[in-house]
Amino acid sequence: MTDFLLELRSEEIPARMQAKAREDLARLFAAELAKAGLSAGALVTYATPRRLALIARDLPLATEAVSEEVKGPRASAPPQALEGFLRKTGLSREQLVERDGVLFAVTQRPGRATAEVLAEAIPAIIRAFPWPKSMRWGDASLSTESLRWVRPLHGIVALFGEDIISTEIADIASGATTYGHRFHHPGPITIGSANDYVEKLRACHVLVDQDERAAIIRGRAAALAVEAGLELIEDDGLVAENAGLTEWPVPLLGRFDADYLSVPPEVIQLTARVNQKYFVCRDASTGALANAFVCTANIEASDGGAKIVEGNRKVLAARLSDARFFYDTDLKVPLADQTAKLERIVFHEKLGSVADKVDRVAKLARWLVEEGVVGTPDLADRAERAARLAKADLVTGMVGEFPELQGLMGGYYAAAQGEDAAVAAAVRDHYKPVGQGDDVPTEPVTVAVALADKLDTIASFFAINLEPTGSRDPFAIRRAALGVIALVVDNHLRLVIRQASMSVILKQVIEDLGRPASETAKRLRDSVSDFGGEAVYAVANKMIEEAAGAMRELRKDVLKIAVLISMNLTGFFAERLKVQQKEAGVRHDLIDAVFALGGELDIVLLLARVRSLQGFIGTEDGANLLAGYKRAANILKKEGHAALTGAAMAYTPEPAEAALLAALAAAEPAAARAVAAEDFEAAMAALATLRAPIDGFFESVTVNDSDPAKRAARLDLLARVRAAVHTVADFGKIEG
C-alpha cells in the first residue's frame, strides 16, 4: 500500500472557490480511481491561494487481475458454431475450457499498475474540473481550445510513494518541485513524498491546511482584541475568507480615528468586512463598537507589521471618510423628498415604479391597521407614513454604495430627521423576516408595513401571472410568503389572505385588461381630428359603441379573473403553510385533515385547529372516536350514502340507537358553539362524548337491516356522526 500526493499550483485562486474546489478534486479523483476498480484508504484535500492538493492513502500498487469468462457453444455443437465462437474470441480450440459439456473462453486480464492509472487520471481531472469561472492564458491562448483553469496553472506535483507519476498537460510536466511562500521562500522546493509534503511547506512558510490557518486567524485575532482590552466581533465567514487569502496568516490589530464612530456601527462593520476583510471589535463592557480593526497579513514583516498596520489604517480611514461623506450628504435630504426619485426606479415593467409600489403598500398598511388586523386603529397614520418612507433609502448614496444596508439606513435617517420612533423602526425593519431564523417584527407599525410590503409583492406578481413555478422563483415570492406566515403566526394576526390581497389584484387586473380599452379610446380621440363636418359624428358614434362593448366584456372578465387569481393565491399560501408545518414536524395527515375542510385561509385559526387535533388524537378518546368514525365512514362509502337524506324515523329506535341520537343532539350544538368561539379543545371534548354511544351502536345495532326504512335511517344517523366530526376536522384524512 502506497500514498499518493497531487498538488496543482496556480496563480491566486479566489478564496470563495477553494472549499468547493477541494470537494470537486476529491470527487473527481475518487471517480477516476473507481473506473479502474481502485479505492483509497483515505482522501485528504488542501487548498491555499496558490495550490490545490490531495493526498490519497493506502493505494495498492496495481489493480487486481480480472478473469473473464464467455460462454460458448456445447462441445457437441456443429463445427460452424465453434468456428464462429473462435473468430469472435480470437482464441484457438485448445485454449477453450470445457465444463459440463459446454465450451468457455477464459481470458485473464492482468492488473494495471496504479501508477499508470494515476498518470491518466491527472490530466482527466484537470480537464474536467468544474471551476465556476475559468480562463485561458499565454501563447497557447491563440486557440480558444487551449486549457482552461481558474487562473494560470503553473505546476503539478504527482508522487506515488517517492516516485514521480509522469504526465503532462498543456506543456506542464509533472514532477516533485513546488514553491514556498511568495515572499518568504520564493525558491523551488523538492517534495519527497506525501508524507513530508505538509511539513516541507510549513518550513517554507506555507500552511497547507486551511483549517490550521483558520484556527490561527480565529485564535490570534481574538487574543489581539483581548490584549487591547476589547472583544472581537466573531465572524466565521471572515475567518474562512482570510484563510483563503493567505498561506501564512498573521493577524494584526490597528486603530482608526474615533471620530468616525459617528457613522452608524453597521456601516463601519460592513465596510471593514466587505471592502477590507477586517474584523472589528467591541468594548467588552458597553458592547459599543470600538475604534479598532484586525487585518490578516500574509507575511511576517521585518518591522513586526508596523508599516502594514499603518497602511491598512489609512485605507480604512479613506473608506470611513467616504461612508461619512455619504451619511452626511444623505442626512441633509429629508426622506420624504427622496421618495420623489422612486418614480424613476422600475419595480417591474408591468407593475410600475417603486413609487407605485410604495403607494400600494401605504394604502394596504393603512387598511390592515384600520381593519384591526394589526395593532389599534389610532396607528393608521403612522403605518401609512412609515410605508411611504420605507423605500426612500434606496436612492440614498449610502444604500447605493452598500445595497445590503437598505432599511437600516432609512431607519437611521428617519430617526435623525425627527420621524416618530415607531415610524423609524418600521422603516428600518420592514424587510424582516428575511429568512428562517431572522427576527420577526412585533411592533404593530412595523408589522403592518412588513406585512403590506410582502403581501403586495406576492399579490402583484400573481396578478400578472408571474407566480413561482417549480424551482423557479425569480422574485422570491416563496420567501415573501414564509415572511407573511411568520408575521401572522408570531403576532397572532387574524388575517384573511383573500381579503388583504383583493384590492392589489383587482387594480392590477383592471389595469392589465383595461389597456386595450384605453387604447381604443386613444385611437378614437386621435381619429376624431382626421375628419371634418357631419361625418365625424357617425365615425365617433361607431367607435364609442365599440369601446362600450369592450368595456362591458371587461367588467365580466375583471371579476372572473380576479377571483381566479385570488383562489390561486390562497392555494399557494395553503401549500406554503403545509410545507412549513411539515418541516416543523407537524403530522402531515393532521394538517390535511384540517385543510380538507376548506373555507377561508386564516392561518392562526388553521394552526389552532391542527394543534388541538394533534392533542386530541393522542388521547384514548381521540383514538377510539377516530376508529368509530372510520367504521361509520366506511359503511357510508360502501353504501354510497353521500349526504343526509333527512328521512324521518318511523320506528322505535333500539336503546343504543336512542343513546347515540341523544348524544348527537347534545354534542352537535356544543361542538358548533365551541367552533364558533374558536375553542377547538372544547369542540373536541364535545365530540369525545360521542365515543361510547358510537361503540354501543356498532355493538348492538344492525345497520344493514332488512327493513329499508330502518336501514336508511341508520345510515342517516352515521352520516350525522360524520358531519358532526367534520365540524372540527376531516377525520378521513387521518392515518391509523
Chain-centroid distance of CA 342 in Å reads: 29
Residues 166-185 that bind another protein (CB under 8 A): 182-183
544 binds another protein (CB under 8 A): no
User: Do the Cβ atoms of 429 and 441 come closer than 8 Å?
Assistant: yes
User: Do the Cβ atoms of 444 and 335 come closer than 8 Å?
Assistant: no
List the one residue from 271, 291, 312, 581 that touches another protein (CB under 8 A). 312
Instruction: Provide the 10 A C-beta neighbour count for residue 132.
Output: 10
Q: How far apart, in whole angstroms, are the C-alpha atoms of residue 181 and residue 119?
A: 28
DSSP sequence for 235-290: -HHHHHHHHTT-SS-EEEEEE--GGGGGS-HHHHHHIIIIIH--EEEEETTT-PEE
Size of the site for another protein (CB under 8 A): 51
* Smallest separation, CB 349 to another protein (Å): 8
**Span of 128-136, 188-196, 487-495, 597-605 interacting with another protein by CB under 8 A:** 128-136
- What are the two backbone dihedrals, phi and then psi, of residue 95, each rounded to the nearest 5 degrees? -80, -15
Q: How far apart, in whole angstroms, are the C-alpha atoms of residue 156 and residue 590?
A: 60
User: Do the Cβ atoms of 189 and 200 come closer than 8 Å?
Assistant: yes
310 binds another protein (CB under 8 A): yes
**Span of 297-305, 596-604, 667-675, 689-697 interacting with another protein by CB under 8 A:** 297-305
List the one residue from 120, 137, 205, 692 that touches another protein (CB under 8 A). 137
**Span of 208-216, 299-307, 520-528, 540-548 interacting with another protein by CB under 8 A:** 299-307
List the one residue from 67, 92, 143, 652 that touches another protein (CB under 8 A). 143
* Smallest separation, CB 135 to another protein (Å): 4
60 binds another protein (CB under 8 A): no
142 binds another protein (CB under 8 A): yes
Cβ proximity to another protein: between 329 and 634 the closer is 329
* Smallest separation, CB 281 to another protein (Å): 17
Q: Which of 609-624 are b and which e, b meaning 16 or more Cβ less than 10 Å from the residue's Cβ?
A: bbebbeebbeeebbeb
**Span of 127-135, 362-370, 451-459, 642-650 interacting with another protein by CB under 8 A:** 127-135
Q: At what angle do helices 444-463 and 535-583 cross, to 10 degrees?
A: 120
Which 8-state DSSP code applies to residue 411? Answer: H
Cβ proximity to another protein: between 148 and 388 the closer is 148
Amino acid at 5: L
136 binds another protein (CB under 8 A): yes
List the one residue from 318, 340, 548, 551 that touches another protein (CB under 8 A). 318
Q: Which of 556-584 are b and which e, b meaning 16 or more Cβ less than 10 Å from the residue's Cβ?
A: eebeebbeebbeebbebbbebbbebbeee
Cβ proximity to another protein: between 252 and 362 the closer is 252
679 binds another protein (CB under 8 A): no
Side by side, the strands of the sheet bearing 230-232 are 230-232, 279-283, 289-297, 250-255
Element (H, E) at 94: none
**Span of 89-97, 146-154, 198-206, 279-287 interacting with another protein by CB under 8 A:** 146-154
Residues 3-42 that bind another protein (CB under 8 A): 11-12, 14-16
- What are the two backbone dihedrals, phi and then psi, of residue 623, each rounded to the nearest 5 degrees? -60, -40
List the one residue from 31, 128, 345, 567 that touches another protein (CB under 8 A). 345
308 binds another protein (CB under 8 A): yes
Integer angstrom CA distances of residue 480 from 35, 389, 453: 46, 20, 9
**Span of 52-60, 74-82, 137-145, 565-573 interacting with another protein by CB under 8 A:** 137-145
* Smallest separation, CB 144 to another protein (Å): 5
* Smallest separation, CB 210 to another protein (Å): 16
In the chain, what is the straight-line distance between the N-terminal and C-terminal CA atoms, in Å? 56
List the one residue from 93, 99, 344, 523 that touches another protein (CB under 8 A). 344
* Smallest separation, CB 123 to another protein (Å): 19
Cβ proximity to another protein: between 17 and 604 the closer is 17
* Best CA proximity match to 130, nearest among 150, 145, 112: 150
* Smallest separation, CB 176 to another protein (Å): 20
Cβ proximity to another protein: between 29 and 278 the closer is 278
Q: How far apart, in whole angstroms, are the C-alpha atoms of residue 573 and residue 496?
A: 11
What residue ranges bind another protein (CB under 8 A)? 11-12, 14-16, 49, 133-144, 150-152, 154, 182-183, 245-246, 276, 278, 295, 297-299, 301-303, 307-308, 310-312, 314-318, 321-322, 325, 344-346
